[in-house]
Chain A
């Protein structure tokens, strides 16, 4: 007998989504179903390469007959369910979550945050100016990437990517509890004295820009970062025979950031230090 069972083929599950019947493969989440049906449900802590943590609650949907709202990112679809993504309750909950997040953290580099705040009529200002839980300088302790925890929503994705879900290096963890909880290296040491191996797989999953390439950080400071002018081209890493797919973000003919497709069979969105940061040799003119 084999210790590792291979996956049996998946059956389809049928349920109702916003009044329409839908069918999804068994094991799919409500979010998978929403996306398949072209519905736009906001998410932050959900990561397509990570196990859901249910930390941010911005994706809540209403399940008919349930007392509480359900996080779409982790709730599995069940046959016969009736799910509403845009009920008054669901929309109100999202508005509240966005207000709390936006009042306590800097969402200026969170893709789509401004759009959602507007869409749900959230008013972060009503908690006052000093709701921010963290107010500290960005940590610039190496030449490759920067940690700006004023932007951190404590979604744990970086911890999971650094930990047992992918990299297994365990350089960062959650320190403290409650309002004091934050992401940190052991003893809050600089990265250069931590176990970090600079794979950047935490940057890849960070939804807010709290973790970013030093190139991006510097260009934002200088006011030159401009995603509209950037191209994204997927190619193959030149450093070893594993053959990781790299997506090169290029602005003005300079590589400014490197990511990897999350559905790539070789990388699942992960890279090592060479693939992630070792591109500079081509730009030494």
Chain B
């Protein structure tokens, strides 16, 4: 048993203080980002050029509803789009999608999981028939092998990593696959550092090696899967040596991972945004799932696939139908029987086609097809890749209603701003975590000023648009959802309380299902095998869209820091001793090559934009690789650099791979995007 004490301590400290960085210590800047005060009253704008001004609820709701009514009358239901919130409760997401489908009559509803984990859902659904991670946190403690692929869980999902650490202390081996040698990698038995955007060649080489070493689980493949032959043909050219050339990972390390994964009795394959935030994110996910199908590491206790979700209710938002292609309970809109069930329950007609996803909606804003948006708790003006373009498109809307707890950059563009409650502590309801566990959210504090609960606001608007919805409380919403979603039918609030959350599926009030999904793949299903079978995805390597060249020689990748979160609107408010603001992080060799030192402000330029940022030196990076976060957009707007190259299947942007150059500034200047 290893202790990991020294190395881990060292990394975590260097991640914070820069100990171990070359000479020239950063002077301590005051790094408290912009603090956002809570919104306490509605705001409206009298005409496009006017300023937002305080209004009564009555006035604000009337203006909001009138705008939606007008746009629908002029341009039809599909000119409306809903951005639902992956941080709000399941109940609010249920009501938001119902508003979209019943009140407005369109399927144009999506949430910001588009910008992180839609590929996981798309990939898992295509391969296994369900969009959820297949196993539970506790199973990580009882597995034999853990692969953390494109996931710095030590920082991004610290309490999930506690389960990983328990697993390691119980004897599991761990492999980390990540271009950066992160603090997660510090705990690994072996670290594989592929070039950014080469996960598919790496996964294919692992798969090929498993096949050629005779370690594929033939019985499982024959009984429970389809598409193996095409997959085997696709991976055949990816010998470990061929993959080494493309990925930069030594052939021997690829072989070792292949053998370790294939011969483990139980294995967990976990991934995060390093896999999904690519222009071909869904293909990346499929490439990983293929490995589980090849070895039978899915559908059993301790063997499974775990995508770790970035936001607290990314899973639940999709489960509730706040996505353009699924009705509540993740039921496909294209299935006539499903539509009929909902049409009967809701007394409305549901369009028999998929709506626009977030990416499509942004494009439809540009073409003028999408004219009104109801944006609840989202900040796309800052969180979208290529944020300048996102702002222009939002400005082009006829009618933008933003419902949030802060006056975000997006809210500043709105025609109507509605002050809402912080779901996690000012409302009742549920959220669903990365292990599909539905848990109770409870109101602990009263919201400030005139702020109101999301569900109340939506219902009030629905009333003004002719739909008189009465939900006594969140539980009433939940019970309606349970009546239409078989996966949630058995989860009463009482049972959720009793069991400290229940994982879906939970079709019955009388029992709990196994904690892992897809047990059918191992059950005795007779001669036809399980239904549906698991499907291999013969995906192809497709390098990052934004190529590095002489002008833009550095590969910029992005990620999260331990104490901060997304655009920093929430996390900027507490006095984290770890926070040190935004830096462009380089490896020691590159810092030397460009003649820059820690703390020195440099210009960072991509093919789309340019920002200035101070330098940080991280020995966990390697030559040619730079790192930044999105946490301090008011100070350094990293999304000016990122590319809007989207995954055609899931619509996720390629945040993880931009090409940049770093230039010395003649005289030191303050970062230009700093606000006073």
Contacts and interface: CB of A to CB of B under 8 A. Distances in A.
Interface of A: 1-4, 6, 142-144, 164, 166-171, 191-199, 231, 233-246, 248, 250, 253-255, 261, 263-268, 270-275, 277-285
Given A4-B143, A266-B437, A243 B444 contact: no
A218 to B, nearest CB: 13
Interface stretch (B168-176, B291-299, B344-352, B588-596): B168-176
A242 B562 contact: no
Interface in B535-581: 562-563, 565, 569-578
B266 interface: yes
A266 B563 CA distance: 20
Contact of A4 (B158, B172, B313, B315): B172
Given A143-B577, A242-B157, A243-B434, A236 B424 contact: yes
Contacts, number: 213
Given A240-B311, A244-B159, A273-B576, A195 B570 contact: no
A263 B266 CA distance: 26
Contacts of A169: 8-9, 12
B309 interface: yes
B171 A243 contact: no
Given A243-B501, A264-B500, A270-B159, 13 more contacts: A2-B265, A4-B144, A169-B12, A170-B9, A191-B577, A235-B441, A240-B310, A241-B157, A255-B445, A265-B137, A279-B425, A281-B406, A285-B38
Most B-side CB within 10 Å, residue of A143, A169, A255, A281: A281
A272 B159 contact: yes
Nearest to B575: A143
B110 interface: no
Nearest to B19: A193
Interface residues of B, number: 80
Given A3-B265, A198-B576, A253-B445, A239 B570 contact: yes
Contact of B500 (A4, A235, A242, A265): A265
B444 A248 contact: yes
Contacts of A248: 425, 444-445
A248 B425 CA distance: 8
A39 B514 CA distance: 36
Nearest to B565: A239
Most B-side CB within 10 Å, residue of A1, A242, A253: A242
B426 A242 contact: no
Contacts of B53: none
B425 A284 contact: no
Contacts of A197: 12, 158, 562, 578
B22 to A, nearest CB: 19
Contact of B445 (A191, A254, A265, A274): A254
A272 B562 contact: yes
Interface of B: 3-5, 8-9, 12-13, 17, 35-38, 40, 87, 137-138, 142-144, 156-160, 162, 165, 169-172, 265-266, 301-302, 308-315, 405-406, 422-426, 431-435, 437, 439-446, 448-449, 500-501, 562-563, 565, 569-578
Nearest to A241: B309
B491 to A, nearest CB: 15
A90 to B, nearest CB: 35
A233 to B, nearest CB: 4
A100 B570 CA distance: 46
B159 A3 contact: no
- Chain B interface mostly: loop
Ordered nearest first, which 3 A-B pairs have the shortest CB separation? Answer: A241-B309, A243-B433, A143-B575
A282 B425 CA distance: 8
Contacts of B500: 245, 261, 263-265
A284 B35 contact: yes
Contacts of A240: 156-157, 309-312, 565
Contact of B314 (A143, A236, A241): A241
A242 B437 CA distance: 10
A233 B435 CA distance: 23
Contacts of B314: 241
A246 B159 CA distance: 12
A49 to B, nearest CB: 11
B600 to A, nearest CB: 23
Contacts of A242: 137, 157-160, 308-309, 433-434
Contacts of B36: 281, 284
Contacts of A236: 312, 424, 431, 433, 439-441
Nearest to B35: A284
A237 B312 contact: yes
A274 B37 contact: no
Nearest to A143: B575
A1 B143 CA distance: 12
A268 B437 CA distance: 15
A26 to B, nearest CB: 20
Contacts of B40: 285
Contacts of A275: 159
A242 B314 CA distance: 11
A258 B314 CA distance: 24
Contact of B158 (A143, A263, A272): A272
A195 B186 CA distance: 15
21 contacts: A4-B143, A4-B172, A169-B9, A192-B577, A198-B563, A236-B312, A236-B439, A238-B312, A242-B157, A242-B308, A245-B500, A246-B424, A255-B445, A273-B563, A274-B571, A277-B576, A278-B563, A280-B573, A280-B574, A281-B573, A282-B405
A246 B312 CA distance: 13
B569 to A, nearest CB: 7
Contact of B565 (A194, A274, A283): A274
Contact of B162 (A1, A166, A191): A166
B444 A255 contact: yes
A270 B162 contact: yes
A282 B38 contact: yes
A3 B311 CA distance: 34
A196 B405 CA distance: 31
A10 to B, nearest CB: 16
Most B-side CB within 10 Å, residue of A142, A164, A195, A253: A195
Given A242-B159, A265-B138, A266-B137, A168 B165 contact: yes
B574 A281 contact: yes
A191 B309 CA distance: 30
A272 B426 CA distance: 21
A243 B431 contact: yes
Nearest to B145: A3
Nearest to A272: B158
A231 B425 CA distance: 13
A78 to B, nearest CB: 26
Contact of B12 (A195, A254, A283): A195
Contacts of A195: 9, 12-13
A198 B562 CA distance: 10
A271 B444 contact: no
A278 to B, nearest CB: 5
A231 B501 contact: no
Contact of B574 (A194, A246, A277): A277
A168 B174 CA distance: 16
Most B-side CB within 10 Å, residue of A170, A268, A282: A282
A2 B576 CA distance: 43
Nearest to A273: B563
A244 to B, nearest CB: 5
B159 A164 contact: no
A7 to B, nearest CB: 9
Given A3-B144, A282-B422, A231 B444 contact: yes
A167 B563 CA distance: 15
Contact of A1 (B137, B265, B309): B265
A1 to B, nearest CB: 7
Nearest to A275: B159
Contacts of B170: 4
Contact of A235 (B169, B440, B562, B565): B440
A6 B266 CA distance: 12
B448 A285 contact: yes
Nearest to A243: B433
